[in-house]
Structure 1
Amino acid sequence: MSTAAQVLAVVIAVMLAGVWVMESFLYRQPRLYSMFLTKPRDFDAVRLWTVNMGFYNLTTAIALVAGVVLARSGQVPAGEALVTFTAAQHTFMAMVLVVSERKLWLNALLEGIPALGLLILMLG
Structure 2
Amino acid sequence: MSTAAQVLAIFIAVVLVGVFVMEAILYRHPKLYPLFLTKREDLDAVRMWTVNMGWYNLSTAAALVIGVILAANGHESAGGALVTFTAAQHTCMAVVLVVSERRLWLNALMEGIPAAVLLILML
TM-score relative to the length of structure 2: 1.00
- 1:80 equivalent to 2:80? Answer yes
**Number of corresponding residues:** 123
- 1:95 equivalent to 2:95? Answer yes
Identity over aligned pairs, percent: 74
Aligned-pair Cα RMSD in Å: 0.3
Question: 1:74 aligns to what SS in structure 2?
Answer: coil
Question: 2:122 aligns to what SS in structure 1?
Answer: helix
Amino acid at match of 2:75: Q
Q: Deviations over 1:58-116 (max 9, x none)?
A: 00000000000000000000000000000000000000000000000000000000000
Tell me how far apart the structure 1 counterparts of residues 85 and 39 of structure 2 sit (CA, whole Å).
34
Structure 1, unaligned stretches of length 5 or more?
Answer: none
Instruction: Report runs of 4+ in structure 1 exceeding 6 Å deviation.
Output: none
Tell me how far apart the structure 1 counterparts of residues 44 and 31 of structure 2 sit (CA, whole Å).
18
Tell me how far apart the structure 1 counterparts of residues 107 and 35 of structure 2 sit (CA, whole Å).
7
- Aligned position for 2:26: 26
TM-score relative to the length of structure 1: 0.99
Structure 2, unaligned stretches of length 5 or more?
Answer: none
Tell me how far apart the structure 2 counterparts of residues 28 and 20 of structure 1 sit (CA, whole Å).
13
* Cα offset, 1:117, TM superposition: 0.3
Amino acid at match of 2:121: L
